[in-house]
Chains A and B, each alone.
Chain A
């Protein structure tokens, strides 16, 4: 395992990207918001 050179400036820590979990929550939250505002159209399913 290499030891980092202390004279080298530490790289900028990149912002951790949102994972699929958070994206799913965000997309679902938008849909639920539309439903709460009563602007989500009635959505049927094909089979009972």
Chain B
């Protein structure tokens, strides 16, 4: 989104190129909302209780169907590709819903669980990756993606360890495919186990790898679960720079890129990979805690974040190409799937064991 060297006309042209795809995101999101409302209305009219499938899942399913049947025309792709931008805006605005103290409590509590999960995910992925004959760098990318932040971490890790584009593509495809599986299976498991909103949010935030899919998984359970999931995922995201730096140092003498020596250079590396929207999220939470925002404003900002997430969820489906996933082959997918199952089970166990003890149940 560079505008540094653009003339006003070029900027207007760039915005105009985004509009058709943005309209498609809005349309798909609205269809998702309409489908949930229609199903509810049919259930009420018929006097039967139909499953209340959240608009989040409908929006993703509709997007997925469009992308993998008629496809997304080239003219719409720039706008459709902005979905992560809307995700980040939604996350920053969602900060208004949190008191800083609650955020610190949730972040501090989840940090311990995140570190345990990271150790488990890394060990399992690296071991299973070796067992399945994956290259060390592909296993590393899968471990980074599973333990931290999905696609962003894989992209940062790819540059840091000098991995191939092909390896990064495999890892991203595997992480996204498994995120989609989690998106549809986690809410059903959560309801079956009668998890509270906080427990489910903690679980989704700990175990679902890609931020967009974490947010959608939380929303598919309940709005309160979504808020907790986003807060926990932001804590994970904040660790991206440190984790990637550790992997970069490991690979520096094993065919990776030499890491600049000294604390200053390494600090700059961590800052460069740090997701800045996490800072925005905390800053907005601080403003809400300080009383700068009234109740009505907090409600409006919360609703605005839902609109931003709606565009993001539509984009998740519209950008999900099943053929690309199929092309990535079975082995990276199987390794990442085993990692996901272990991390999901481990996270769920940790959440059930600890959330009650800490009064977060």
Contact = CB atoms under 8 A, between A and B. Distances in A.
A46 B47 CA distance: 23
A25 B306 contact: no
B284 interface: yes
Given A23-B1, A40-B297, A47 B33 contact: yes
A39 to B, nearest CB: 10
B15 interface: no
Contact of B287 (A14, A36, A41, A43): A36
Contact of A20 (B1, B37, B279, B304): B1
Interface string B83-113: 0110011001100100000000000000000
B44 interface: no
**B-side interface mostly:** helix
A24 B301 contact: no
Report the interface size class on chain A.
20 to 34
Given A43-B300, A47-B37, A21 B294 contact: no
B92 to A, nearest CB: 4
B2 A17 contact: yes
Interface string A16-45: 011111111101110110011010111111
Given A36-B292, A47-B55, A25 B277 contact: yes
B296 interface: yes
Contacts of B303: 43-45
A15 B4 contact: yes
Interface in B251-295: 275-277, 279-280, 284, 287, 292-294
Q: Which of A14, A41, A44, A46 has most chain B Cβ within 10 Å?
A: A46
A33 to B, nearest CB: 10
A21 B275 contact: yes
Contacts of A47: 33, 36-37, 55
B3 interface: yes
Contacts of B292: 36
A44 B293 CA distance: 17
A39 B130 CA distance: 58
B93 A31 contact: yes
A28 B293 CA distance: 14
Q: Which of A18, A20, A29, A42 has most chain B Cβ within 10 Å?
A: A20
B33 A24 contact: no
Contact of A28 (B30, B33, B275, B280): B280
A14 B89 CA distance: 27
Given A17-B3, A46-B33, A47-B33, A35 B300 contact: yes
Contact of A23 (B33, B85, B299): B85
A3 B307 CA distance: 51
Contacts of A41: 300
A23 B303 CA distance: 20
A27 B89 contact: yes
Interface in B158-199: none
A43 B275 CA distance: 27
Nearest to B1: A23
A25 B279 contact: yes
Interface in B184-230: none
A24 B92 contact: yes
A28 B85 contact: no
A36 B297 contact: yes
Interface string B1-33: 111100000000000000000000000001001
Contact of B1 (A14, A18, A40, A44): A18
8 contacts: A17-B3, A25-B279, A31-B304, A36-B293, A38-B294, A40-B300, A47-B33, A47-B36
Interface of B: 1-4, 30, 33, 36-37, 55, 84-85, 88-89, 92-93, 96, 275-277, 279-280, 284, 287, 292-294, 296-297, 299-301, 303-304, 306-307
